[in-house]
Amino acid sequence: MRWTPQTPDDVKKLSAECEKGQLASCTALGIDYLTGRGVTKDENKARALLERACGGNDARGCNNLGIIYAEGQGVPKDEARAVQLYQRGCDGGYVGACVNLGSMYVLGRGVSKDEAHAVQLFRKVCDGGEPRGCLFLGQSYAHGIGVAKDEELAVQLYERACNDGLADGCGNLANMYVKGAGVAKNEEKAAKLSEKACEAGSAFGCTNLGALYENGQGVAKDIAHAVQLYQRSCDAGDATGCDYLGDMYAVGRGVAKDKSRSAALYQKSCKLGGAHACLKIGEYRTGRLLKIKYDGIIIFSKETDKASYELTIQDGPDQYVAVYRMNYFQHDRYKDLVGGKDVEYRIAGRNLFVKLPDGKEIKAGLCLRNPQGLLICP
């Protein structure tokens, strides 16, 4: 664990070591300036120190410089540059850089998406004893990303990460017990694991625990405590926690009904990457237009539809199906959409809006599933 300066003398010591060419000290000081721990936050000074460390092949310095470019901290966001820096850090033996590099390959950020290569990186890190590598490898197996889906193996990997002290490993393992995925369903054990994760600092674990208390799964139902846990996870930056807390305020469940508070929470969740929250406030999301199914042309009169198309959009684990109808006078814009390509979309009411290349939108009616799983389209 790195030493963090707490006094001016500590800062001087690190600065002197850095000047003498001790690159690890340059990296440590750069991180402190980046986070404002023990010194006044200064992103420019942090970047200069990390550039120096990475230039001297300090792997940890390259990793943290990559984070700066990936997140656009004090510099324009440059994900391709971040990938290069993570690669240098990984090649230099810093496992955190390998994990970050794998995540970029999974998401296709700054590099062509290559989920299989990401799995190789995660496996390398996990085999090297780094619990985060086991966590991400477990997620790959749990969802079949870059590798054949294997929930039992995912459980083993999550358990390994949890036992090695990684809070999110315990949180993911709890999820598997809740669903009975790869392991016998056990809500009581899920609650204990979620509590362990939450108390160890996992915001995601607090969200899980909140959901269990809200629904009375493995614990006595306690709506007020669920709200407290969602607040805790939201404060710690978990998008789902903010989303769930927004739902509580939207309907007045465990708290006084407050639509403005709910909207603010959805907005925060959306900024943190919460897909569902973005849609609840009508923000654009990016999803993949899987297919455009042509439903035929009808030109019997000016009062009928000229044509209709079924659109299917995949956004992570979520899929949306909608029907785009055109009347007699509308220009046929479906040709502006290409199956297999990413599109920007939003949801308002029961309609899905897809942004076209020229910035205009087409409106399609959302299809909904009934309790029996049948898709009902407008």
Predicted pLDDT at 14: 87
Confidence of residue 306 (pLDDT cuts 50, 70, 90): low
Predicted pLDDT at 298: 46
**Percent of the chain with pLDDT strictly greater than 90:** 59
Does residue 24 sit in the same domain as residue 155? yes
Mean local confidence (pLDDT), 262-268: 92
Cβ-contact 117, 135 below 8 angstroms = no
Whose CA is closest to 34, among 3, 79, 82, 73?
73
Predicted pLDDT at 54: 95
Whose CA is closest to 50, among 34, 39, 61, 35?
61
List pLDDT tens digits, range 38-81.
888 999 999 999 999 999 999 999 999 999 999 898 899 999 99
Confidence of residue 372 (pLDDT cuts 50, 70, 90): low
Mean local confidence (pLDDT), 91-96: 94
Give domain status of residue 245, yes or no: no
Confidence of residue 5 (pLDDT cuts 50, 70, 90): very low
Does residue 165 sit in the same domain as residue 313? no
Greater model confidence, 201 or 347: 201
Q: Domain containing 353: what range?
A: 285-376
Give domain status of residue 189, yes or no: yes
Predicted pLDDT at 148: 95
Tokens of 1: 């664990």
Does residue 23 sit in the same domain as residue 142? yes
Does residue 195 sit in the same domain as residue 316? no
Give domain status of residue 268, yes or no: no
Domain finish residue from 194, 223, 252: 223
The gap from C-alpha 239 to its chain's centroid, in whole angstroms, comes to 8
Mean local confidence (pLDDT), 365-377: 75
Tokens of 102: 């794998």
Rg (CA), the chain: 24
Give domain status of residue 237, yes or no: no
Cβ-contact 194, 208 below 8 angstroms = yes
Does residue 14 sit in the same domain as residue 92? yes
Does residue 214 sit in the same domain as residue 294? no
**144 Cβ neighbours under 8 A, 6+ residues apart:** none
Does residue 290 sit in the same domain as residue 210? no
94 pLDDT higher than 80? yes
Predicted pLDDT at 363: 85
Q: How many domains does the chain have?
A: 2
Angle, alpha carbons 137-142-146 (nearest 5°): 60
Give domain status of residue 270, yes or no: no
301 pLDDT higher than 70? no
Give domain status of residue 194, yes or no: yes
Q: How is 69-135 classified by DSSP, letter by letter?
A: HHHTSSS---HHHHHHHHHHHHHTT-HHHHHHHHHHHHHTSSS---HHHHHHHHHHHHHTT-HHHHH
Angle, alpha carbons 154-174-172 (nearest 5°): 50
Give domain status of residue 253, yes or no: no
Confidence of residue 370 (pLDDT cuts 50, 70, 90): low
List pLDDT tens digits, range 239-259.
999 999 999 999 999 999 999
Confidence of residue 287 (pLDDT cuts 50, 70, 90): confident
Whose CA is closest to 279, among 243, 248, 250?
243
Q: Distance between terminal CA atoms of the chain?
A: 58
**CATH number of residue 219's parent domain:** 1.25.40.10
Give domain status of residue 252, yes or no: no
**Would you say the pTM of this structure is higher than 0.85?**
no
Domain finish residue from 174, 198, 223: 223
Does residue 192 sit in the same domain as residue 330? no
Does residue 209 sit in the same domain as residue 127? yes
- Residue for token digits 């990793």? 63
- Long-range contacts of residues 116-123, Cβ cutoff 8 Å, at least 24 apart: 116/146, 116/147, 117/146, 118/145, 118/146, 119/145, 119/146, 119/147, 121/90, 122/98
Does residue 309 sit in the same domain as residue 168? no
Does residue 102 sit in the same domain as residue 216? yes
Does residue 219 sit in the same domain as residue 316? no
Which letter does DSSP use for residue 377 in this model?
Answer: -
Domain finish residue from 208, 223, 238: 223
Q: How far apart are CA 170 and CA 172, in angstroms?
A: 6
